[in-house]
Amino acid sequence: DVKVTQSSRYLVKRTGEKVFLECVQDMDHENMFWYRQDPGLGLRLIYFSYDVKMKEKGDIPEGYSVSREKKERFSLILESASTNQTSMYLCASSSQFTGFEAFFGQGTRLTVV
Amino acid sequence: ELKVEQNPLFLSMQEGKNYTIYCNYSTTSDRLYWYRQDPGKSLESLFVLLSNGAVKQEGRLMASLDTKARLSTLHITAAVHDLSATYFCAWGNDYKLSFGAGTTVTVRA
């Protein structure tokens, strides 16, 4: 089974803090993604990576950055957390060899106060 | 601008009856995905549709893809309570998936 693991289920951070969300997958997938999910808006793509050290902006990259130093790990960084970044964050991975079907982690619910 | 539109956004189903969720997308693609999300949980893959005319079935759920009409449907047969969840369709573009807003399904007795 594909396993995508996010480091935290729940996080509470203060405005202005630098926040790191970590994601690890164990299926050697080349593609990894960070989405945020908000009620009524579905999932919106923040950043994705199709190879180690490669990254591309998604639809809503402002206020975020990412790091992919190893194939299995993809980190999302909130440079200076703001209250409008309170959301559910979902990490996913996929491979061209399985039709780009995305497999999701359990999600991190981030609250910025 | 890519749009993925699902309708309805909310669906109250009566047990035993049949229903359909529609997913329209604005740009040509031959890859369409359906996911299920239970409250407080992550997304679980239901179907991967990779060609025009593709039809897949699992239990009471059946998904189909018409790339010419840019339409996918998720048909629910004889709804049961266990199917209460939010269902998302997603359109495939290169590496990425673009998601619809989701359809929240509630099945009542």
Task: Give residue-wise pLDDT tens across range A1-49.
Answer: 669 999 999 999 999 999 999 999 999 999 999 999 998 888 999 999 9
* Section A50-67 average pLDDT: 95
d(CA A43, CA B108): 27
**A42-49 and A56-57 beta bridge pairing:** antiparallel
Q: Which two tokens mark B59?
A: 């239990």
Residue whose structure tokens are 């923040």: A46
Express each pLDDT in B43-68 by its tens digit.
999 999 988 889 999 999 999 999 88
In Å, how far is B108's CA from the nearest CA of chain A? Answer: 22
Express each pLDDT in B15-36 by its tens digit.
999 999 999 988 877 789 999 9
Contact residues, chain A, for B98 at CB < 8 Å: 45
Contact state of A99 with B101 under an 8 Å Cβ cutoff: no
d(CA B26, CA A49): 24
Q: Check residue A14 and give its pLDDT.
A: 98
Chain-wide mean pLDDT for chain B? 92
| B43: closest chain A residue by CA | A104
d(CA A10, CA A110): 6
d(CA B62, CA A72): 33
| A29: closest chain B residue by CA | B95
Query: What number of other Cβ atoms are within 10 A of residue A2's Cβ?
Result: 18
